[in-house]
Amino acid sequence: MKPKKNPQQDLNKKSATYFVFGLLIVLTMAYVALEWKTFDQSVYDEVGMNKPDLDIIEDAPIFQTVVPPPPKPPVLPVEIEIVDDNDPVEETEVIAIEVNTETEVVDVSEFEVIEEEEEVKVIWKTIEEVPIFPGCEKETDKRACFNEMMQKHIKKNFRYPELAQEMGQQGRVNTQFVINNDGSISNIQKRGPHELLEKEAVRILSKLPKMSPGKQRGRAVQVSFSIPITFKLQ
C-alpha cells in the first residue's frame, strides 16, 4: 500500500515559479550593478554656485577712425605778362549817347525798310496752283498728272533691298516731303515697318527732279505732299 501525499504539502508544485522569480531578481540586480554610475558631486556644486557679479559693468571699446582731410588743389602761380611801354595799347572807344543841343537829328525817311518775305507752307489739298512735275506743263489737270508722274518715278527708281528680302521685311512706308518755293525737295519724312525700307523710300524721293513751285494767291509757297510706298515680297 502506497502512502498518499497531501497536495497542499507538495514542495515541487511551485518550484518553477520560484525559480523564474528568483532568476528575474538576480538579472535585475546584475543590470543595476553594471549600469550604476557615480559622479563627483562637488565639481558640479561648485560650478552651479558660480553667479555673475552684477556690479561689474563692461563698456564696449569705441574705435574712432580719423579721416584725413582731402588734399587741397594745387595753386597755380599767377602769370604776369610784362608789356613793353613802347607797345601800342588798343583802347576801347566809348561813344556817348547823351542827347544835347548839338546832337544831329536824322530823318526817318532816309532809312530803307527791308521787308523779309515770310515763308508760307500750304498742304497739297488746299493749294490753289499745285507744283508742276516736269512733263506736265501742257496738261489741263496738273494735279492728276503730278500724281501719275510720281507713280512712274517710284516704279522707275524702285529697288527692293536684298537684306530686307532675306529678313522677310515688307509693308508700307508712309512718306512726306516739302516742295520748296524754288521747286526743290526737302524735309523728307518717313515711317515704316523697318529701317531698311525707310532708307530705300528716302533714296527714291531724293531723286525727284526740280519742279515748278506751287502758288497761293499768285505767290510761290512751300507745299507738303504725302505718298505711301509699298514693299511686298513675291
134 Cβ neighbours under 8 A, 6+ residues apart: 149, 209, 210, 211
Q: What was the pLDDT predicted at 204? A: 93
Contact 204, 229 (CB under 8 A): yes
At residue 131, does pLDDT exceed 80? yes
Residue 154 lies in a domain: yes
Q: How far apart are CA 151 and CA 144, in angstroms?
A: 11
Residue 13 lies in a domain: no
Q: How far apart are CA 52 and CA 44, in angstroms?
A: 16
Residue 78 lies in a domain: no
Of the pLDDT bands very low, low, confident and very high (cuts 50, 70, 90), residue 217 is confident
Instruction: Determine the average pLDDT of the residues in 37-43.
Output: 60
Contact 198, 175 (CB under 8 A): no
Selection from 7-21, 90-104, 196-210 with the highest mean pLDDT: 196-210
Q: What was the pLDDT predicted at 216? A: 87
Residue 157 lies in a domain: yes
Boundaries of domain holding 223:
121-231
Burial class (CB in 10 A: 0-12, 13-18, 19+), 122: middle
CATH number at residue 175: 3.30.2420
Of the pLDDT bands very low, low, confident and very high (cuts 50, 70, 90), residue 62 is low
Q: How far apart are CA 208 and CA 188, in angstroms?
A: 11
Q: Which residue has the higher pLDDT, 120 or 2?
A: 120
Per the structure, how many domains does the chain have?
1
Residue 8 lies in a domain: no
Q: Where would I find the H helices in 61-167?
A: 142-157, 162-167
| pTM of the entire predicted model | 0.49
Residue 190 lies in a domain: yes
Residue 194 lies in a domain: yes
Out of 18-22, 46-50, 73-77, 159-163, which region has the weakest mean confidence (pLDDT)?
46-50
At residue 89, does pLDDT exceed 80? no
Q: What is the pLDDT of residues 133-170, one digit of tens each?
A: 998 888 889 889 999 999 999 999 999 998 988 888 88
Residue 219 lies in a domain: yes
Q: How far apart are CA 129 and CA 33, in angstroms?
A: 128
